[in-house]
Homo-oligomer: A and B are copies of this chain.
Amino acid sequence: MADVTIWNEYRHEREDDDVAAVYPDGIHATIADALDDGGDERDDGPDHEIRTATLDDPEHGLPPDVLEETDVLLWWGHEAHDEVSEAVVDRVQQRVLEGMGLVVLHSGHYSKVFKRLMGTTCSLQYREDGGTERLWVVDPGHPIADGLDESIELPRTEMYGEPFDVPEPDRLVFTSWFEGGEVFRSGCCYRRGSGRIFYFRPGHEEYPIYEHEDVRRVLRNAVDWATPTEGAPRTFGERD
């Protein structure tokens, strides 16, 4: 069981009726529900201690004490990346290096926190065509793939295509096939400092992606994988 904070920009859902129809309580609420859902043979009681935070909360809902108590932070943002304060980005980066897990979702590839931790533009190609995506498990032994079949099919979604301007992942778990002819590294694992980072592509706001059973399972697996372990001391500075 981990202390999980789900961060959502939470603007589309309040501004756009189509999005509100898909995610009436916000994307964060649907993700919270997914993480709490032990329907996939998990019978170990309440899975996680979950809280949510959004852009328009004070300090974006991420004051120091919240991050201090967070084991794994999930991040969904899209249209207002620039409104996230540098102070919060600094704080998230520091906590990741100390060991906090970070799961970056979909358009969060362009978030300040992800770009800060990757050191690259995190750019990609895209097309909002509502076509089919099939996410292939390319690393069947990875715990984030636990309980999946050989691929996940999403009937209607936005396309993301290569090149994806990120460092070569430590491990690549999923690669997406798109109906329109593109591919994308859609499940990428990184370690930065003592923290585990997972980028997971699915999640456009106009489609009920986070209702998909396999996507929900990946979210649960990713939180488990990203939960900090004990480790050894990170001691820096002058030595005697």
Does chain B have a CB within 8 A of A52? Answer: no
Does chain B have a CB within 8 A of A99? Answer: yes
A33 to chain B, nearest CB (A): 23
Stretch in contact with the other chain, from A21-29, A181-189, A202-210: A181-189
In the complex, which of the residues A116, A193, A238 has the most CB atoms of chain B within 10 Å of its own CB atom? A193
5 contacts between A and B (CB under 8 A): A127-B240, A137-B232, A139-B163, A141-B194, A176-B183
Copy number of this protein in the oligomer? 4
Contact with B along A138-163 (1 / 0, CB 8 A): 11111101111110000000010111
Q: Which of B127, B143, B163, B181 contacts A234 (CB 8 A)?
A: B163
Contact between B170 and A168, CB atoms less than 8 A apart: yes
Contact between A231 and B145, CB atoms less than 8 A apart: yes
A42 to chain B, nearest CB (A): 12
Contact between A140 and B239, CB atoms less than 8 A apart: no
Which residues of chain B are within 8 angstroms of A176 by Cβ–Cβ distance? 183
